């Protein structure tokens, strides 16, 4: 069974949501995204990934295959899927290293 994860800097406490915060979607007739929570089987029209802006630290969901690859808050292109922050310097304090943590007592 998989456990939800998050990514955290032990030096300053900055954290991002992890793998269970991504979500599939389908498009309706008007082209609007209809989210499919807890989806296991497709086909799906797209997939939103938890993303963090390394400049302003805003966290948001983005389809990295379809959407403009920029922060929806500050328009920076310095964004990354949250799981790719693991093992990297913290974007907030720049002193700690981001580590993956599992949510205790919860599994799927």
CA angle 74, 36, 73 (to 5 degrees): 5
| Dmax (CA) of the chain | 48
Burial of 55 per CB tally in 10 Å (0-12, 13-18, 19+):
middle
pLDDT at 40: 73
pLDDT at 107 > cutoff 60:
no
In this predicted structure, the answer to whether residue 74 has a pLDDT above a threshold of 90 is: yes
Of 5-19, 20-34, 62-76, where does the model show the most confidence?
62-76
- SS3 of 16, please? strand
**At 50, is the pLDDT very low, low, confident or very high (cuts 50, 70, 90)?**
very high
pLDDT at 105 over 60: no
| Band (20; pLDDT cuts 50, 70, 90) | low
CA distance 91 to 97: 9
Q: What is the pLDDT of residue 2?
A: 56
Residue 33: closest CA among 63, 74, 10: 63
Domain extents in the chain: 5-20+50-102
């Amino acid at each position: 069974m998989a456990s939800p994860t998050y990514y955290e800097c032990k030096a300053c406490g900055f954290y991002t949501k992890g793998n269970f915060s991504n979500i599939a979607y389908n498009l309706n007739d008007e082209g609007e995204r209809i989210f499919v929570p807890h989806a296991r089987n497709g086909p799906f029209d797209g997939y939103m990934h938890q993303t963090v802006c390394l400049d302003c630290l805003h966290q948001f969901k983005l389809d990295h295959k379809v959407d403009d690859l920029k922060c929806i808050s500050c328009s920076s292109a310095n964004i990354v899927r949250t799981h790719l922050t693991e093992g990297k310097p913290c974007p907030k304090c720049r002193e700690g290293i981001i580590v993956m943590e599992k949510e205790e007592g919860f599994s799927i």
